[in-house]
Chain A
């Protein structure tokens, strides 16, 4: 790894909401097959980073690069077509649509029906529970099942890179554990995952590398082990979010 060009890159990105400066000179690079996390406390700019990558906010300066292609001026739709997909915070399924329809929405921009069918089978293989609930309304599932559907929905886009916004948010501790196992599972299946998380210990326990974001600036950039051992990590923003 590291020899080829990154799947996703942010080059000197500055993002503003109105006059407020949120992201300050953020440089990130994620390579194929990696599981990386972006850590940070509240209001550190984590979600804005994801929104910038997806094109829901446009950076003031700097570029977002997907697979070597500069996409800074492109719409969310075009970026999704290029292979970036997000599992949103709190799962946010389409509650009154069935599980099957939710999965279909994940493949919204795809036209290769054979490929979609293959990926559907793959999702069922990863999460047999999803198949059982296929015709049920997504809103009626339990939290853990919803998380599976949310990940499955994102996988249906056959993404080059999967963005995960706060996977531990709003879940019971046992489910958080299960959720991180799911992420590890899809990572082991070969997917590149970029995860944004407050729960540093949890995230770093499964990630390869990580960055720490503080008030919109990347303050630490290291491997997971080094970050876990780093004395500034706890001090820099969060203490522990365990318990």
Chain B
């Protein structure tokens, strides 16, 4: 992106003449490519089984099911994508217009022709053996339970329509298109999140709202859908009016002043007001977090508790991967050590260690054991680098699970039966935290998250944090600067392990049992995805990653907001990760300070490029006007 991005940024140097192009004056190879990608995507979605399994889940009561939505969204995205055209410097710029709509429509038409082929394919061939979803049910859905002819003809038409809508987003101007997107997202969001919204309304004792919103089959009713859309439009207009109001002007200019590094002098007054504002924000956030669980229903509290468990894990792994740069693929080991230590020490159901100790005592044992496990796993891998290290940690993660499962240690860990009857957490005789009271679990998790955030934050800005980052960047040079790399890396493993064991310890008390299969390799991978998705080495990013991924999609063994998608969780994880690596390799929330620097740097680069371009122009004066120079 960088080169073309910069080039388009230079455009400011000289205004390019704007042209209007005719409807069919398209970049055909690009359209064909987009169409092919869309076709593959649509056929993939259809054959992944989503349309069939989501067909019964109605979104808007009589008309639209989640199954059909799964086939509708992609043409919209592709339509938007083909309508977006990079403006190259030195080339003519075109005004937005019907051509974009046409491009979207053509791509959508071509792409959904893939579904037409699928309909014909299913009608004439039976390859259900390798492809389980090559089924009459899918055919029924694709044909709208009518005829083959309807099925073959209607999909390209639908594709053209949605694609045109996507392409038209550019034409409509940013406010209109943003409003459209918001309306669509809020209507479908409200529909998809039915269970959570019902839960929330119960928590706030306004069940009437959810009763009115949702029909008997859990979909939005017609009037409700219209009301949600109207609310979204209202909010958007209100926000736009607020942004345009003079009251906000002072704020924006001050924000801009603070964003320029060079103008640090002008940022002084804002800087002076910052601490109080930040403290206020912090206090408000903390208060909201403390009070909110009281109003949330069981489901939401449970969900947030799971998110919290993964925040703990992700913060721990973030120290190892994000700060110290050690790719640990066996992080689940520390989760398991925490969970099993607490289970063995507190449960009367554990075969060994009869005098059971209270949870807090067991927690200390868990921390100690996890720290030792960190040393034990860290020591042999610390001298390795890159791929080898990752593979060895992967092995260690599995070894722990296999040990827990083994006959040899079944006297302690009870093999595949696991350990049950793990009691809840007695909080100093005041309260008992049990799995069937998600609210209490959430509070316990929140306390530990706060500890983990504080520890991570302090470590990140400490000497050892600097040392970790230096090792991540260049281990040899870090050593030459006097960093004791071996002990720093071991320290990262131990700290990460202890944070991970918190999560295991809470999980064990929450669920009341532990089994070896809860600590499979997929858990390691999910935690790593959370860290990468959120933004490695960056605490708010990691938290956001956990909230988004675990909260919405769910953890490996935990349901998320979109319970319907549980079956496709890993697929979506993978797709998101690929998209993330392509589009925002810095993660969901890249370090803000860093991002700003990067931005400034790009601006500097642009200035440099512009100067180069000017020099080139002067050089080539009269002669060949920069043909093919870039």
Contact = CB atoms under 8 A, between A and B. Distances in A.
Nearest to B483: A108
Classify the interface of chain B: helix, strand, loop or mixed.
Answer: helix
Among A54, A105, A140, max chain B CB count under 10 A is at A105
A95 interface: yes
Among B470, B477, B479, max chain A CB count under 10 A is at B477
A64 to B, nearest CB: 15
Interface string A95-120: 11110010011101100000000000
Interface in A53-99: 54, 56, 75-77, 80-81, 85-86, 88, 92-98
Contacts of B261: 135
Interface residues of A, number: 29
A169 to B, nearest CB: 14
A210 to B, nearest CB: 23
Nearest to A140: B601
B479 A94 contact: no
A135 B21 CA distance: 45
Interface in B437-481: 463, 466-467, 469-470, 472-474, 476-481
Contacts of A104: 466
A80 B482 contact: yes
B463 A108 contact: yes
B597 to A, nearest CB: 5
Contacts of A96: 469, 472-473, 594
Given A77-B482, A157-B482, A137 B474 contact: no
Interface string A131-150: 00001110010000000000
B482 A94 contact: no
B160 to A, nearest CB: 45
Given A94-B469, A101-B466, A157 B481 contact: yes
A77 B488 CA distance: 12
B69 interface: no
Nearest to B473: A94
A93 B477 CA distance: 8
A77 B598 contact: no
Interface in B482-496: 482-484
B264 to A, nearest CB: 9
Nearest to A91: B477
Interface in A154-203: 157
Interface in B408-449: none
Contacts of B598: 137, 140
Among B474, B476, B482, max chain A CB count under 10 A is at B482
A81 B482 CA distance: 7
A92 B514 CA distance: 47
A80 B477 contact: no
Contact of B483 (A56, A77, A92): A77
A136 B478 contact: no
A76 B474 contact: no
A108 B467 contact: yes
B470 A75 contact: no
Nearest to B602: A140
A9 B267 CA distance: 52
Given A108-B463, A136-B600, A94 B470 contact: yes
B597 A106 contact: no
Nearest to B325: A96
B466 A95 contact: no
Contacts of B466: 101, 104-105, 108
Contacts of B469: 94, 96-97, 101
Contacts of A56: 476, 479-480
A76 B466 CA distance: 18
B602 to A, nearest CB: 9
Contact of B480 (A80, A81, A101): A80
B383 to A, nearest CB: 13
Contacts of A108: 463, 466-467, 470, 481-483
A130 to B, nearest CB: 15
A80 B483 CA distance: 9
A109 B488 CA distance: 14
Contacts of A75: 484
Contacts of B474: 92-95
Contacts of B477: 88, 92, 94
B597 A137 contact: yes
A106 B600 contact: no
Contacts of B600: 136
Contacts of A137: 594, 597-598, 601
Interface in A22-71: 54, 56
A97 B591 CA distance: 12
Nearest to A163: B480
A209 to B, nearest CB: 24
Contact of B481 (A95, A98, A105): A105
Contacts of A106: 481
Contact of B482 (A97, A109, A135, A136): A109
A136 B601 contact: yes
A97 B470 contact: yes
Nearest to B486: A75
Given A101-B466, A108-B463, A136 B481 contact: no
Contacts of A81: 482
Contact of B473 (A77, A97, A109, A135): A97
Given A56-B480, A95-B473, A140-B601, 9 more contacts: A77-B483, A80-B480, A93-B473, A94-B473, A96-B469, A97-B470, A105-B478, A136-B601, A140-B597
* Closest CB pairs A-B (n = 7): A80-B482, A94-B473, A109-B482, A140-B601, A77-B482, A92-B477, A86-B480
5 contacts: A92-B476, A93-B474, A96-B594, A108-B470, A157-B481
